[in-house]
Amino acid sequence: MPSRSEVAYFGAGPASLPTAALEQAAASLLNHENQGLGLGEISHRSPTANKVIADAKAALVHLLDIPDSYDIIFMQGGGSGEFSAVVQNLVSAWVERRRRNAVAELGEAKDEEVLQRVREELEAMRVEYLVTGSWSLKASQEAARLLGPKYVNVALDARKFREGSRFGAIPDEQKWAGNLVKQKGASALTYFCDNETVDGVEFPAFPKCLDGNEETEAGDERIVVADMSSNFLSRSVDVKKYSVIFGGAQKNLGLPGITLLIIRNSLLSLTPPVAFMHSLSAQLPNAIPPVVFDFATLAKNNSLYNTLPIFNLYVATLVLQDLDRNCGARRIAAQQEVAERKAARIYAVLDKYEWKNGEGVYGVVPEKGARSRMNVCFRVKGGDEAEEKRFVKEAEGRGLLGVKGHRSVGGIRVSNYNAVGEESVERLCGFLKEFAEGPKGA
């Protein structure tokens, strides 16, 4: 039975966590701060639980320099739950903003006229998606399932710009930015997945065409939503560029069961009357979020409207505090340097033994401009099934675990999350070199 120090784990999620954080969490699961109770047993409304939430928020605010104009919510449902939640909450916010504008122009006692005005404006409303991989595709499909396809604008489908109609590239913005809705105020949200875990694709930077989304009194700013489930806390982020950032915890943050949401405060006040939304149900179905996914309700209750898994959040809090201590005054920029250095080492070995014209060993799946620092996806000898099975088996024999690619795409996937140490990356690079060169003397 190997010890933790003998294993290097590169699984895509649930992922590695810092050993020190897990050891402290394990003690607290049995007896938290000498209270005689474990964190899995305490009330989620207790002072202890509130302190866990406060500590997590404080670390996040410092690490990412989150402005006071944003709130932080912890909830459940994972990234997939947020596919639904962001659509329902932000479409509802869009409706409420239009309802208020109509009331201001037509008057308080003009209910039918206000309803008719919003119905007319609703015809132009769209939720927009940049589809660059499996998860953004699923997000767009969920929006179509909830609202109907007519309301969904896929401004970018990256498969259309690559041979074989496969994910693996992020085309130049000039090729697709013109597909975004041009009518001011018509876009209820623009979603993109910052890092595609399955396909190994990552946006190198915030899309320039989505800049300029600052709030306006008219409410015609672009509402930008980013799914950062798998690259959260791995690089500096200008939070002000986003209306909503969300992510599941089970990559760089903690255990499954917790979802993080960073949201602009002004969006939390745009909650339409339920009766008004019911009046639009024939035209706009499924746009009211369940109460446990209602962002305003969760924020008002400090993430404690329903029972939050406090132990899971405590693990995330320990991870955040550990990262905060390590990064110091440089905040997340310090961790970004580490992440980029580790990824560069891995890609350097893969490129050295590149599979090309039937020669070499490794073929990185995404194009260079879109390579993920977090999820390194590649094929062995052009996708030879037997060779890839041998690669996985031999890697496991070296204590290098979790390298098998996602079942939907196959191949090899090495996840380079924050808790994967540089020594683990060095072990992996050594194995990549030995596998490529074969047994000595052969």
Higher pLDDT, 219 or 368: 368
Task: Collect all residues with Cβ–Cβ distance below 8 Å to 152 and sequence separation of at least 6.
Answer: 126, 127, 128, 129, 140, 143, 144
Question: According to the 3-state scheme, what is the secondary structure of the chain?
Answer: CCCHHHCEECCCCCCCCCHHHHHHHHHHHHCHHHCCCCCCCCCCCCHHHHHHHHHHHHHHHHHHCCCCCEEEEEECCHHHHHHHHHHHHHHHHHHHHHHHHHHHHHCCCCHHHHHHHHHHHHCCCEEEEEECCHHHHHHHHHHHHHHCHHHEEEEEEHHHHCCCCCCCCCCCHHHCHHHCCCCCCCEEEEEEECEECCCCEECCCCCHHHCCCCCCCCCCCCCEEEECCCCCCCCCCCHHHCCEEEEECCCCCCCCCCEEEEEEHHHHCCCCCHHHHHHCCCCCCCCCCCHHHCHHHHHHCCCCCCCCCHHHHHHHHHHHHHHHHHHHHHCHHHHHHHHHHHHHHHHHHHHHCECECCECCEEECCCHHHECCCEEEEEECCCCHHHHHHHHHHHHHCCEECCECCCCCCCEEEECCCCCCHHHHHHHHHHHHHHHHCCCCC
Q: Compute the C-alpha angle 432/434/438, nearest 5°.
A: 120
Confidence band for 217, pLDDT divided at 50, 70 and 90: low
Question: What pLDDT shows up at residue 441?
Answer: 47
Q: List pLDDT tens digits, range 399-431.
A: 999 999 999 999 999 999 999 999 999 999 999
Confidence band for 252, pLDDT divided at 50, 70 and 90: very high
Question: What pLDDT shows up at residue 114?
Answer: 97
Q: List pLDDT tens digits, range 21-48.
A: 999 999 999 999 999 999 999 999 999 9
For residue 12, pLDDT beyond 70: yes
Q: Mean pLDDT across the stretch 10-31?
A: 96
Question: What pLDDT shows up at residue 440?
Answer: 64
Residues 370, 373: Cα–Cα separation, whole Å = 9
Query: Is residue 167 within 8 Å of 196, Cβ to Cβ?
Result: yes
| Structural domains of the chain in order of their starting residue, each with its CATH number | 56-314 (3.40.640.10), 332-437 (3.90.1150.10)
Residues 366, 131: Cα–Cα separation, whole Å = 15
Residue 168 CA: distances (Å) to CA of 158, 202, 313, 337, 359: 8, 9, 33, 24, 22
Residues 22, 20: Cα–Cα separation, whole Å = 5
Q: List pLDDT tens digits, range 74-110.
A: 999 999 999 999 999 999 999 999 999 999 999 988 9
Question: What pLDDT shows up at residue 416?
Answer: 97
For residue 216, pLDDT beyond 70: no
Tell me the one-letter amino acid at 227: D
For residue 397, pLDDT beyond 80: yes
Residue 22 CA: distances (Å) to CA of 29, 234, 322: 10, 20, 11
Question: What pLDDT shows up at residue 164?
Answer: 81
Residues 128, 154: Cα–Cα separation, whole Å = 6
Q: Is the pTM of this model over 0.85?
A: yes
Question: What pLDDT shows up at residue 394?
Answer: 98
Question: What pLDDT shows up at residue 133?
Answer: 98
- In percent, how much of the chain has pLDDT > 70? 98
Question: What pLDDT shows up at residue 439?
Answer: 75
- In percent, how much of the chain has pLDDT > 90? 94
Confidence band for 212, pLDDT divided at 50, 70 and 90: confident
Q: List pLDDT tens digits, range 184-206.
A: 899 999 999 999 999 999 999 99
Give the distance from CA 179 to its chain's centroid: 23
Q: List pLDDT tens digits, range 339-362.
A: 999 999 999 999 999 999 999 999
